[in-house]
Structure 1
Amino acid sequence: MGASQSSQARPEQVVSAPESSTSVSFSPSLIDRLSSPASSKEPSESTDDIVRRRLAAESAHIRSQEAEILSKISAALEKENLDKEKPGMSSEVLGRDIEEVREKVERMKRDREEKEGEGIRKAKEDILRCYRENAQRPLDCWREVETFKTEVAKLEKAFVKSLQ
């Protein structure tokens, strides 16, 4: 079929230059391509342009698939995390946790007050009373401050002694 069409012989055209003694011959297909009206128009898309366009389209398609897969994975992970947290994060559990923290704070406060003793507590109250009474002249409270320092020094000595 195709062989019979391509094997049809066309007369070869010979172009010779008047100054030179060599002759140049062109194949009929080249002459047809050069003389056809399609060749006078803009050149058709090159193979590189076609390949680039296809690669860009395929790349965009792959990126969209990747984004879709990532969104599905993140949604699945989020659902899994929520499923794990639900039993542990009920309002009852949070309420118990808050209550435990309150109890610890109260216990620490009581322990601190017990360790301070009556002398430090009284010295603190005396300083506060003196500052309130002498708001314009706080330096008049030096005696109360010295008493407080003495009580703190006693407490520090007792603490160091308990560590030995």
Structure 2
Amino acid sequence: MGAGQSKPESDDNEYRHETPIQFSQDVVNHLADRVNLPETTPERQTTLDAHIRSRIQADLKQLRTEEENVQREIEVALEKENLDRERSMAGDTEEEAHGDIKSSTSLMNDIEEIRSKVDRTQTRQQLGDLFEVNEKSQAVASCYQSNPTTPLNCWREVASFKMSVARAETQYFESLR
């Protein structure tokens, strides 16, 4: 009974293929790059991301300030150009062709003068320049109410009202001068 050995043969089996296995150069390069590059840990990746975000924010802030500076420079240049154009147009000898052209500063002065005149007029009216006119108007109205069938009896009140209106008009036109 012992014609064959009871022990198994070695586990080292070598298989030899007759066709060689070849990989493309891209696959070889990719695998070589993966071996050379260490994997980044999640903590390191978070730190890198935060650093990149902060750099982006800083660059964005710098770009915004530069943009604001450029816009201010453009505005200043446009204002200067407009003022120069206004001055040259106001200084032209052809003012008849352009009409009465004024600079923006003189227009602002004119507007302020008109505002002050309007304020003066309103304050005078509020202070009672028209108090006499209102009083005479009420006298005419009460006369007409007390004399509904004979309105001609109110001629004195009407004449007094007309005189007070004329005085108020005169005062108003004098205040505009």
Superposition TM-score, scaled by structure 1 size: 0.30
Higher normalized helix content (fraction of residues): 1
Higher relative CO (Cα under 8 Å, sequence separation at least 6) belongs to: 2
Superposition TM-score, scaled by structure 2 size: 0.28
Higher normalized strand content (fraction of residues): 1
